[in-house]
A = this chain, B = another copy of it.
C-alpha cells in the first residue's frame, strides 16, 4: 500500500475512521481510544506520513519555530561572525528542540533592513537576537520590533530602559576580574585593546571594569595604553603592533574579546616577545579555541550554555504567555597559561 504524499484523510480511509480522529490520534489526544490511536499511528508510520506543518500552523496560528537573528558589522560578504556567537547556535538549537521548537537562522547586517516580519508572517513565534553592534542602530531596531509586538529575547545586558527581555553577562564585573587578576599576579602596566565607544556598550563596560580595578588598586589608567580595535583578530594584531610602536612599556594586555587577545598574542610573538614571560595576556568570552591556542588563553568566561538555554527558556516563556525576567549572569575567570599565573 503506497500513497505518494499521504494526508490525514488517506490515513483515515485506511484506518476506517474519520479524519478528525486521525488528527486527534496523531496528537496523542486522550480522547482517542488507545487501540484506535495505536492503529492510526502505525498506519501513519507505514505510509511515512507526517503532519503538514503549514496546514497545522495555519489552523493554530503557531509555527513552533524560533528565529535566531545574528547580526554583525562586517562589511560586504563578511562571514566572520564572532565564534562566540557561532558557538551558541548549537546550544540554542538543542535547547529549542527540547521545547519542541525548530530554529530558523538568519544573518542580518545591522544597517540593512531587518527581516522584522518573521513573526508577522507566521514563520516564527518569537526571535532571539545575537550580536555586538552599533548600539544606536540596534536600539532603533529593538524599538521597531517592540512597536509591532514581536516577542524577542536579546543576548546582552539590559541597557537603560531598552525594550524587550534580555540575558546578559555582567561585563563590568568581567573586566574587573580580568584586570584584578593581572594586578594580583604582579602586573602593573596593563594595556587595554578594544573598542570602548558608547556605540558598543557591552565592550565599553569591560573597559569600565578595567578602570575600576586599576583605580581601586591606586593606579591611574594610562590613555596611551588603550588602543581601539573591534572584535576581530586582525585588528587585535594591529592594535598590538601600535602598542609596541608606542613609547609606553607594558607588562600585560587585556583584550576585549578572545579573538582580539589571540591576535594580540600573535603580534607579540612576531615581534619577539614571550607570552606570558614578557607580557601577560587575558581575553574575554572563552571561545572554544581559547583553551587550545599557544599559550592557552586566560580569559573571562561567559557561560554560553546557560545563556543559550536561558534565551530559549525566555522566548518560549514569552510565547506561552508566562512571565519572563531579564537576567544578568556573573562571569568567571578561567586561568590558563597566557597570564603567567601558572608559570
Q: Report B-chain residues with C-beta under 8 Å of the C-beta of A200.
A: none
Within 8 A of B (CB), among A29-80: 48-55, 57-58, 63, 65, 68, 70, 77, 79-80
Q: Which residue of B lies closest to A262 (CB)?
A: B292
Q: Report B-chain residues with C-beta under 8 Å of the C-beta of A52.
A: 58, 121-122
Chain A residues touching B, range: 35 or more
Interface string of A92-133 (1 = CB under 8 A from B): 011001000011111100000000010011110000000000
Whether a CB of chain B sits under 8 angstroms from the CB of A227 is no
Whether a CB of chain B sits under 8 angstroms from the CB of A89 is yes
Q: When the two chains form their complex, are residues A107 and B122 in contact, meaning their CB atoms are under 8 A apart?
A: no
Q: When the two chains form their complex, are residues B292 and A294 in contact, meaning their CB atoms are under 8 A apart?
A: no
Q: When the two chains form their complex, are residues A81 and B90 in contact, meaning their CB atoms are under 8 A apart?
A: yes
Q: Which residue of B lies closest to A261 (CB)?
A: B292
In the assembled complex, the Cα of A97 lies from the Cα of B91 at a distance in Å of 23
Q: When the two chains form their complex, are residues A50 and B86 in contact, meaning their CB atoms are under 8 A apart?
A: no
Within 8 A of B (CB), among A223-265: 233-234, 236-237, 259, 262-263, 265
Q: When the two chains form their complex, are residues B106 and A103 in contact, meaning their CB atoms are under 8 A apart?
A: yes
Q: Which residue of B lies closest to A121 (CB)?
A: B50
Interface string of A135-149 (1 = CB under 8 A from B): 000000000000010
In the assembled complex, the Cα of A68 lies from the Cα of B104 at a distance in Å of 10
Specify which of A80, A87, A120, A237 lies most central, judged by the most chain B CB atoms within 10 Å of its CB. Answer: A120
Within 8 A of B (CB), among A255-287: 259, 262-263, 265-266, 269-270, 275
Q: Which residue of B lies closest to A62 (CB)?
A: B54
Q: Which residue of B lies closest to A289 (CB)?
A: B289
Known: A53-B122, A106-B93, A106-B97. A291 touches B233 (CB 8 A): yes
Q: Report B-chain residues with C-beta under 8 Å of the C-beta of A266.
A: 292-296
Specify which of A80, A104, A293 lies most central, judged by the most chain B CB atoms within 10 Å of its CB. Answer: A293
Q: Report B-chain residues with C-beta under 8 Å of the C-beta of A164.
A: none
Specify which of A70, A236, A292, A294 lies most central, judged by the most chain B CB atoms within 10 Å of its CB. Answer: A292
Q: When the two chains form their complex, are residues B233 and A292 in contact, meaning their CB atoms are under 8 A apart?
A: yes
In the assembled complex, the Cα of A89 lies from the Cα of B85 at a distance in Å of 12
Q: When the two chains form their complex, are residues A104 and B102 in contact, meaning their CB atoms are under 8 A apart?
A: yes
Whether a CB of chain B sits under 8 angstroms from the CB of A199 is no
In the assembled complex, the Cα of A5 lies from the Cα of B270 at a distance in Å of 60
Whether a CB of chain B sits under 8 angstroms from the CB of A288 is yes
Whether a CB of chain B sits under 8 angstroms from the CB of A163 is no
Whether a CB of chain B sits under 8 angstroms from the CB of A83 is yes
Q: Which residue of B lies closest to A232 (CB)?
A: B292
The 26 listed contacts between A and B (C-beta, < 8 Å) are: A5-B120, A48-B148, A50-B121, A51-B121, A54-B54, A65-B104, A77-B94, A79-B94, A79-B304, A80-B288, A81-B87, A83-B83, A86-B87, A86-B89, A103-B105, A104-B105, A233-B289, A233-B292, A259-B292, A262-B294, A265-B294, A266-B292, A266-B294, A269-B294, A269-B295, A289-B293
